[in-house]
């Protein structure tokens, strides 16, 4: 009961703090297999059922939901939630329970979601605070193979909307192809995803050169990999910003030795925040600063790494052994402020 009460009080307190009324937060979280406990006959979700290999029960699902909401509330801090982007969400019903049955119910969240063609049924989705964000449009962009066929995987979610002050914000939420089949074998897939995303970003710039764009997601590549650096054509933040250029605010995390997930003894930055220069040099409306992009790595999200040393994310499962943790990724956050 204590774990349920504390986040609610925490959220109530930050909404009552007037000094922060112009600070907003955009979050992204890879929720690591946030499945319900029911079998979907149209997807390969059998292991996340009571009879499956992971013995995924209603009770474990509820624990996962509470853990996810706790991670998000902790990451928000004192900032007002604007957008929460997700990947590895099974369906809309999971999101509905999250905004109705956890501490997130105190925010007027609405859902943007579409079932993907991913064989496992995991999707990209977002929650938006309906009191301060008003969607104008949204669209899912599928990945197209070299032969022109649609690849059965997660799509890129694009949405644009008006923030309370009247500023227009464009968001792209991503979950690019994983490295599961091998780094070299899967690299062309992520390069193709980056090319698709770059095309859609350029389409926004053609309509509005000074568009305020935020790109978030699990890219399964690092900021220095070719997909991000060359195909998406991002730059490291400096002192001057071109309004129609993309700047990767996650680059500094690498220099600091930080990461959003850990494989064996090495931390990686697969979850990233990229913005257009218009958000960094804005003289009115919404703006941000490079240092306002951060990884939320509170102690309750981590556990001792008894094999490789140091700490690691506290996962829901270790192999097939239930661990009861949060996930294998850490949330990332961008703070926005109104002039």
Residue 337 pLDDT: 95
**pLDDT above 70 covers what percent of the chain?**
94
Q: What 8-state DSSP symbol labels residue 194?
A: H
Q: What 8-state DSSP symbol labels residue 292?
A: G
Per-residue model confidence as pLDDT tens digits over 127-150: 999 999 999 999 999 998 888 889
Residue 123 pLDDT: 97
Strand-pairing partners, residue 299, are none
| Residue 152 tokens, joined | 């059965």
Contact 178, 119 (CB under 8 A): no
| Residue 338 tokens, joined | 């109104």
Average pLDDT, the chain: 93
Taking Cα atoms as reference points, which of 5, 7, 173, 203 lies closest to residue 88?
173
Alpha-carbon distance of 274 to 200, in angstroms, equals 14
String of DSSP letters for 48-80: GSTTSTT---HHHHHHHHHHHHHHHHHHHTTSE
| Residue 27 tokens, joined | 């979050």
3-state secondary structure of 152: coil
Per-residue model confidence as pLDDT tens digits over 41-75: 999 999 999 999 999 999 999 999 999 999 999 99
| Residue 4 tokens, joined | 């349920």
Q: What 8-state DSSP symbol labels residue 2?
A: H
Contact 249, 277 (CB under 8 A): no
Contact 211, 205 (CB under 8 A): yes
Q: How far is CA 250 from the centre of its chain?
A: 13
- Higher-confidence position of 301 and 6: 301
Contact 135, 171 (CB under 8 A): no
pLDDT surpassing 80 at residue 18: no
String of DSSP letters for 205-233: HHH-TT--EEEEEE-SS-TTSHIIIIIS-
Taking Cα atoms as reference points, which of 132, 135, 130, 123 lies closest to residue 85?
123
Residue 9 pLDDT: 41
pLDDT surpassing 80 at residue 20: no
**6: pLDDT confidence band, cut at 50, 70 and 90?**
very low
Residue 164 pLDDT: 85
pLDDT surpassing 70 at residue 23: yes
Contact 50, 238 (CB under 8 A): no
Per-residue model confidence as pLDDT tens digits over 75-111: 999 999 999 999 999 999 999 999 999 999 999 999 9
Q: What is the pLDDT averaged over residues 253-262? A: 93
Per-residue model confidence as pLDDT tens digits over 219-228: 999 999 999 9
Per-residue model confidence as pLDDT tens digits over 150-176: 999 999 999 999 998 789 999 999 999
Alpha-carbon distance of 111 to 166, in angstroms, equals 21
**Out of 3.30.460.10, 3.30.499.10, 3.60.10.10, 3.30.1180.20, which CATH number does the structure's domain 2-338 have?**
3.60.10.10
Contact 133, 82 (CB under 8 A): yes
pLDDT surpassing 70 at residue 15: no
Per-residue model confidence as pLDDT tens digits over 265-287: 999 999 999 999 999 999 999 99
């Amino acid at each position: 009961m204590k774990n349920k009460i504390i986040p609610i009080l925490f959220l109530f307190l930050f909404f009552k703090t007037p000094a922060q009324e112009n600070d907003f937060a955009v979050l992204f979280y890879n929720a690591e297999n946030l499945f319900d406990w029911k079998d979907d006959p149209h997807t390969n979700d059998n292991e996340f059922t009571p009879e499956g290999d992971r013995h995924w029960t209603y009770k474990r699902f509820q624990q996962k939901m509470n853990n996810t909401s706790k991670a998000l509330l902790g990451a928000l801090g004192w900032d007002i939630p604007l957008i929460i982007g997700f990947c590895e969400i099974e369906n809309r019903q999971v999101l509905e329970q999250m905004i109705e049955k956890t501490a997130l119910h105190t925010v007027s969240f609405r859902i943007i979601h579409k079932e993907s063609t991913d064989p496992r049924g995991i999707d990209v989705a977002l929650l938006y605070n309906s009191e301060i964000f008003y969607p104008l449009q949204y669209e899912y962009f599928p990945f197209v193979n070299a032969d022109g066929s649609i690849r059965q995987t997660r799509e890129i979610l694009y949405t644009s909307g008006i923030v309370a002050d009247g500023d227009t914000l464009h968001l792209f939420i991503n979950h690019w192809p994983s490295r599961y089949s091998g780094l070299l074998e899967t690299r062309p897939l992520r390069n193709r995803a980056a090319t698709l995303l770059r095309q859609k970003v350029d389409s926004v710039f053609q309509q509005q050169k000074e568009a305020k764009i935020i790109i978030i997601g699990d890219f399964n590549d690092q900021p220095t990999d070719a997909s991000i650096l060359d195909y998406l054509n991002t730059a490291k933040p400096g002192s001057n910003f071109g309004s129609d250029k993309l700047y990767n605010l996650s680059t500094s995390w690498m220099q600091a030795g930080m990461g959003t997930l850990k494989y064996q003894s090495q931390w990686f930055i697969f979850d990233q925040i990229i913005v257009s220069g218009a958000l960094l040099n804005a003289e009115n409306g919404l703006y941000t600063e490079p240092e306002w992009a951060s990884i939320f790595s509170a102690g309750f999200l981590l556990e001792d790494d008894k094999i490789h040393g140091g700490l690691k994310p506290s996962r829901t499962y270790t192999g097939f052994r239930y661990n009861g943790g949060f996930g294998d990724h850490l949330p990332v956050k961008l703070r926005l402020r109104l002039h």
